[in-house]
């Protein structure tokens, strides 16, 4: 059975007429005699839509109960049993009610298509998964129902239902979309003119990409290689040199002349091009093209010009931007005789694609990459020595034969030239060939003993000998160079892979990369400097040290270094500097790197720049999360202040009002009851405000504890002051060591945890049990720790809700709202972590909950106070049940 076809009506916003056009298409199909039914559609209260639905057969929907309410869903089995030719299914992105066969309606549609039924459906642009966050940012409305883009792209046809934003707002104002009582709110919020314009542009751009994919598929299926300029596309050819930035900016300016288009930068990596390209330049150009809204691509090919043209044709490019050759005049002339340079061949073979040849400062100056002595000076020197001596030795051996003949002499000397080429490369081999030809001419070619050649055939043989020797030398030299380049590239790739793998596993990836650089480059020190301070400001005072490893000389007291001054401490002969970007430098100390290692250093700098960028993004993410958490906390605090604080205030107001009535007299026991109510409400209000203030301080960077050696027994009595006597049992071993903690914070932690146990485990036995810490196996981040457990035998907390329990404003479902705002455990956990400890929850054997406080053991008084003494927290502060943040409260006492 053939699969059915799917036609989707796409809209930019509700009310553009998707359902209406879908139903009109259904009527057109029905009028042509096709079997059409409505599988599921909604009129949304619109009379015109309802009228169109009335003229078509409708499969009755299923009614499914959910949370006490019945919902209508498409009867998938009913539609499959009816088996129409075409089914109308509204709201393609709809989420089905739990209990349906599929979670999403598009999955129902997929089953209809597999059954051979054609489907007409609708979807809005805000329901596409890739655009959900963008639409949410524009409209400030998050979409709960989404459909994967790939599912929509699989549709056989996508029809855009488009009307102008002004007309859509007019339809909304006339009541054709929403009920009259909802029109004003819709116009002021979701249906603002700017919102509708942005949504319409999103829909057009998304559909344009879909159309472009269809065009590319059609061209591929029909083997069409000619450029169809349906959309402006500028392809920029990059060589890996510094001129790439000029080409990218020129391409961007060309694209800006038209309204819309694509900017694509492509680097063609030839088989031997990896040695001459600059990783640092390519990385900078990749970032630039992305900043300009383009895309960066890498392709491989033996012929850069052909590979560039193939890529341009594959993306249907309309224009190509390349730079003029960096070769000198002689190399350019030679290249022209051999068929032209890369730019010339691109222009010649581009066909109907426009090509822009852009001049740049490096063009035509012979600034291209020069051949390096890849064989090494020693091998080349030995090659020249062999070129001078080996032909003489071979000729001496030939002299031992009375009549060796010219052919034999040439073959023997050719062997020597090949040997010299294998050892010393091209130029020693050429020298050996010329020297051997002279020896053969003098000793073996008649007349012997002179350089005169009587037989033209012998003269031709010598010319062939020199040519073959030179050709073999070129092949051997090229093969040796390619082999060494491949070995070097493989070694560099392995080194960079090891560096990256080690950096990813390390917590401080930048510092770990620098430590590995010490071994890779055999240097004593490595450092990264930035030309700005902690922010992004540039400074002329010096370069700030960002990270270092090993011995780093030349730092001023302020941690900066001036590369331009004579007294900077560096020695140009014993250090190597690599500019990662204009504001960042990598410096290696101990030796100057040879030219062969500079490319590896440049690639290393690119990896280092990526790690620095990753580190900055991680820092920015943490800062954004901190600000978001702080904003959420402030919002929650305001909500709590406006709701949860009203109850104790109402109780106080009521009791005071009754006592102030002059025409009423109360018995002493009644007055005592009212005063007791005031006192209880005040305590509750005090507790609520204290927890709110503590949580607010925890969300800011100011909650730093005053750590000092402390025993659990010093703070537990004060922490249990508000708990009824005999309600909590305390069991502390006599040998418990001191812990490192802030007395006020620890008191609040214990008090909040115990009050939580009393509240949620009424009538249960509650015990505060200590552990000997360092004498047991209790550890915290690998270090000995002290442990205190608060154990109850109440109802406990399900394992899946343990994490939620520590979040602010969380309570169990059966606790009334008047007992607090749900901050006690959040404050306790925040204070514990601020002191370097942990607060965890465990199931009590036999039922209940055990809260475990772990804090590091003390190593002695820190040298924080005057005269080398740790600050002493007064006992009056410990004994007082304060609702201020402990650190600020103690500082207030000190003042």
Neighbours of 352 (CB within 10 A): 10
Q: Is the pLDDT of residue 589 over 50?
A: yes
- pLDDT at residue 893, as a whole number: 42
- pLDDT at residue 338, as a whole number: 44
For the ranges 201-210, 403-412, 493-502, the lowest mean pLDDT is seen at 493-502
Q: Is the pLDDT of residue 763 over 70?
A: yes
Q: Is the pLDDT of residue 798 over 50?
A: yes
pLDDT digits over 390-423, tens only? 888 888 888 777 666 777 888 888 888 888 887 8
Under the banding of pLDDT at 50, 70 and 90, the label for residue 54 is: confident
Q: What is the distance between the alpha carbons of residues 788 and 446, in angstroms, rounded to a whole number?
A: 109
- Stretch 74-97: mean pLDDT, rounded? 91
Query: Among residues 232, 275, 16, which one has the least CA distance to residue 125?
Result: 16
Q: Is the pLDDT of residue 241 over 60?
A: yes
Which tops the pLDDT comparison, 850 or 817? 850
Q: Is the pLDDT of residue 52 over 80?
A: yes
Under the banding of pLDDT at 50, 70 and 90, the label for residue 476 is: confident
Residue with tokens 């370097």: 836
**Within its chain, how far is the Cα of 583 from the centroid?**
22
Q: What is the distance between the alpha carbons of residues 358 and 382, in angstroms, rounded to a whole number?
A: 45
Which tops the pLDDT comparison, 862 or 213? 213
Instruction: Calculate what percentage of the chain has a pLDDT beyond 70.
Output: 75
Cis peptide before 447 (omega within 30 of 0): yes
pLDDT digits over 738-751, tens only? 899 988 889 888 98
Q: What is the distance between the alpha carbons of residues 70 and 64, in angstroms, rounded to a whole number?
A: 5
DSSP state string for 32-96:
TT--EEEEE---TT-HHHHHHHHTSEEPPPEEEEETTEEEEE--HHHHHHH--SEEEE--TTPBP
DSSP state string for 329-371:
HHHHHHHHHTT--HHHHHHHH-TTSEEEEE--TTTTTT-SPPP
For the ranges 562-566, 700-704, 857-861, the lowest mean pLDDT is seen at 562-566
Under the banding of pLDDT at 50, 70 and 90, the label for residue 220 is: low
Q: Is the pLDDT of residue 568 over 70?
A: no
Cis peptide before 812 (omega within 30 of 0): no
Q: What is the distance between the alpha carbons of residues 126 and 774, in angstroms, rounded to a whole number?
A: 59
| Residue 55 three-state SS | coil
Residue 223, H or E segment: none
pLDDT digits over 677-713, tens only? 888 888 777 766 766 666 556 555 555 678 889 999 9
- pLDDT at residue 878, as a whole number: 37
Q: What is the distance between the alpha carbons of residues 295 and 291, in angstroms, rounded to a whole number?
A: 9
Compute the mean pLDDT over every residue in the chain, rounded to the nearest whole number. 77
Relative orientation angle of helices 509-520 and 595-643, to the nearest 10 degrees: 170
The HSE-up count of residue 867 (CA atoms within 13 Å, CB side) is 1
- pLDDT at residue 680, as a whole number: 80
Q: What is the chain's length?
A: 895
- Stretch 226-235: mean pLDDT, rounded? 73
Q: Is the pLDDT of residue 32 over 70?
A: yes
Which tops the pLDDT comparison, 62 or 368? 62
Q: Is the pLDDT of residue 333 over 60?
A: no
- pLDDT at residue 815, as a whole number: 45
CA dihedral 61, 65, 66, 70 (to 10 degrees): 60
811: which 2 tokens?
A: 């309570």
Which tops the pLDDT comparison, 884 or 755? 755
| Residue 780 three-state SS | strand
CB 848 within 8 A of CB 764: yes
Q: What is the distance between the alpha carbons of residues 499 and 512, in angstroms, rounded to a whole number?
A: 8
- pLDDT at residue 890, as a whole number: 35
- pLDDT at residue 230, as a whole number: 61
Residue 615, H or E segment: helix 595-643
- pLDDT at residue 242, as a whole number: 82
Q: What is the distance between the alpha carbons of residues 834 and 838, in angstroms, rounded to a whole number?
A: 9
Residues ≥6 apart with Cβ < 8 Å to 175: 183
Under the banding of pLDDT at 50, 70 and 90, the label for residue 507 is: low
- Stretch 817-835: mean pLDDT, rounded? 70
- pLDDT at residue 235, as a whole number: 92
- Stretch 567-590: mean pLDDT, rounded? 71
- Stretch 475-498: mean pLDDT, rounded? 71
Q: Is this structure's pTM higher than 0.85?
A: no
Q: Is the pLDDT of residue 113 over 90?
A: yes
Q: Is the pLDDT of residue 768 over 90?
A: yes
117: which 2 tokens?
A: 């039924």
Under the banding of pLDDT at 50, 70 and 90, the label for residue 28 is: very high
- Stretch 355-381: mean pLDDT, rounded? 67
Q: Is the pLDDT of residue 185 over 60?
A: yes
- Stretch 214-230: mean pLDDT, rounded? 65
Q: What is the distance between the alpha carbons of residues 117 and 78, in angstroms, rounded to a whole number?
A: 13
Q: What is the distance between the alpha carbons of residues 419 and 441, in angstroms, rounded to a whole number?
A: 21
**Phi first, then psi: what are they for 449, rounded to 5°?**
90, 0
For the ranges 46-60, 201-215, 688-702, 763-777, the lowest mean pLDDT is seen at 688-702
Which tops the pLDDT comparison, 278 or 654? 654
pLDDT digits over 618-672, tens only? 888 888 877 776 666 566 555 555 555 666 787 888 888 888 887 888 888 888 8
- pLDDT at residue 413, as a whole number: 82
Neighbours of 229 (CB within 10 A): 13
| Residue 790 three-state SS | strand
**Phi first, then psi: what are they for 333, rounded to 5°?**
-65, -45
Which tops the pLDDT comparison, 210 or 857? 857
- pLDDT at residue 592, as a whole number: 78
- pLDDT at residue 232, as a whole number: 83
Q: Is the pLDDT of residue 433 over 70?
A: yes
| Extended beta strands in 490-605, E state | 525-530, 543-550, 560-561, 575-581, 584-589
Q: What is the distance between the alpha carbons of residues 606 and 593, in angstroms, rounded to a whole number?
A: 17
């Amino acid at each position: 059975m053939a699969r059915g076809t799917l036609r989707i009506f796409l809209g930019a916003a509700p009310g553009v007429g998707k359902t209406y056009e879908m139903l009109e298409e259904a009527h057109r199909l029905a009028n042509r005699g096709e079997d059409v039914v409505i599988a599921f559609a909604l009129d949304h209260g619109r009379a015109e839509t309802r009228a169109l639905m009335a003229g078509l057969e409708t499969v009755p929907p299923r009614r499914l109960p959910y949370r006490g309410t019945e919902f209508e869903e498409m009867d998938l089995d009913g539609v499959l049993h009816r088996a129409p030719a075409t089914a109308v299914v509204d709201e393609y992105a709809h989420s089905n009610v739990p209990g349906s066969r599929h979670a999403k309606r598009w999955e129902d549609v997929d089953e209809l298509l597999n059954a051979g039924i054609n489907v007409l459906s609708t979807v809005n642009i805000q329901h596409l998964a890739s655009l959900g966050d963008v639409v949410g940012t524009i409209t400030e409305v998050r979409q709960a129902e989404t459909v994967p883009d790939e599912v929509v792209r699989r549709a056989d046809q996508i029809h855009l239902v488009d009307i102008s934003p002004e007309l859509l707002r007019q339809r909304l104002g006339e009541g054709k979309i929403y009920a009259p009582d909802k029109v004003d709110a819709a116009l002021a919020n979701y249906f603002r003119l700017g919102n509708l314009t942005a949504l319409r542009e999103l829909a057009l751009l998304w559909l344009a990409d879909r159309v472009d994919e269809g065009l590319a598929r059609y061209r591929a299926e029909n083997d069409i290689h000619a450029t169809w300029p349906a959309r402006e596309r500028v392809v920029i050819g990059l060589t890996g040199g510094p001129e790439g930035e000029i080409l990218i900016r020129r391409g961007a300016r060309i694209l800006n002349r038209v309204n819309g288009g694509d900017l694509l930068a492509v680097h063609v990596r030839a088989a031997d091009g990896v040695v001459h390209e600059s990783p640092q330049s390519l990385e900078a150009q990749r970032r630039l093209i992305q900043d300009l809204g383009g895309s960066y691509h890498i392709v491989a090919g033996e012929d850069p010009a052909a590979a560039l043209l193939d890529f341009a044709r594959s993306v249907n490019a309309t224009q190509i931007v390349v730079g003029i050759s960096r070769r000198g005049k002689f190399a350019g002339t030679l290249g022209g005789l051999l068929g032209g340079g890369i730019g010339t061949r691109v222009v010649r073979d581009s066909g109907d694609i426009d090509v822009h040849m852009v001049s740049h400062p490096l063009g035509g100056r012979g600034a291209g990459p020069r051949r390096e002595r890849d064989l090494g000076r020693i091998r080349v020197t030995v090659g020249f020595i062999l070129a001078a001596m080996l032909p003489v030795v071979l000729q001496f051996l030939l002299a031992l034969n009375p009549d060796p003949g010219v052919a034999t002499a040439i073959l023997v000397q050719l062997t020597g030239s090949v040997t010299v080429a294998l050892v010393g490369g091209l130029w020693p081999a050429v020298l050996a060939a010329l020297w051997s030809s002279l020896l053969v001419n003098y000793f073996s070619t008649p007349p012997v003993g002179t350089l005169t050649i009587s037989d033209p055939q012998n003269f031709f043989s010598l010319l062939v000998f020199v040519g073959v020797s030179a050709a073999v030398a070129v092949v051997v030299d090229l093969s040796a160079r390619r082999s060494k380049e491949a070995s070097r590239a493989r070694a560099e790739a392995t080194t960079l892979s090891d560096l990256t793998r080690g950096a990813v596993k390390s917590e401080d990836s930048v510092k770990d990369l620098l430590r590995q650089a010490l071994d890779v480059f055999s240097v004593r020190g490595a450092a990264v400097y930035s030309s700005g301070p902690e922010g992004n400001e540039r400074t002329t005072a010096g370069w700030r040290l960002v990270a270092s490893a090993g011995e780093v000389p030349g730092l001023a007291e302020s941690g900066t270094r001036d590369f331009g001054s004579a007294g900077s401490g560096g020695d140009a002969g014993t250090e190597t500097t690599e500019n990662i970007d204009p504001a960042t430098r990598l410096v290696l100390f101990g030796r100057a790197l040879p030219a062969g290692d500079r490319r590896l250093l440049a690639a290393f700098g690119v990896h280092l720049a990526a790690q620095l960028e990753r580190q900055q993004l991680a820092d920015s993410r943490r800062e954004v999360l901190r600000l978001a958490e702080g904003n959420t906390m402030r919002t929650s605090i305001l909500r709590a202040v406006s709701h949860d604080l009203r109850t104790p205030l109402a109780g106080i107001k009521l009791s005071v009002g009754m006592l102030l009535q002059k025409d009423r007299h109360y018995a002493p026991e009644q007055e005592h009851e009212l005063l007791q109510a005031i006192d209880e409400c005040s305590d509750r209000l005090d507790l609520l405000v204290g927890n709110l203030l503590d949580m607010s301080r925890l969300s800011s960077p100011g909650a730093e504890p005053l750590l000092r050696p402390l025993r659990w027994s010093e703070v537990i009595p004060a922490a249990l002051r508000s708990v009824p006597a005999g309600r909590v049992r305390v069991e502390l071993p006599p040998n418990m060591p001191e812990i490192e903690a802030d007395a006020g914070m620890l008191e609040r932690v214990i008090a909040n945890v115990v009050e939580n146990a009393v509240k949620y485990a009424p009538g249960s036995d509650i015990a505060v049990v200590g552990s000997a810490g360092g004498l047991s196996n209790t550890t915290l981040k690998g270090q000995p720790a002290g442990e205190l457990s608060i154990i109850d035998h109440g109802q406990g907390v399900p394992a899946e809700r343990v994490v939620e329990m520590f979040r602010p404003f969380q309570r169990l479902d059966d606790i009334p709202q008047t007992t607090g705002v749900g901050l006690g455990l959040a404050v306790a956990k925040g204070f514990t972590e601020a002191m370097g400890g942990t607060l965890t929850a465990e199931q009590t054997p036999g039922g209940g909950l055990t809260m475990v406080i772990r804090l590091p053991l003390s190593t002695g008084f820190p040298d924080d106070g005057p005269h080398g003494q740790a600050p002493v927290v007064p006992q009056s502060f410990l004994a007082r049940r304060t609702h201020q943040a402990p650190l600020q409260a103690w500082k207030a006492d000190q003042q």
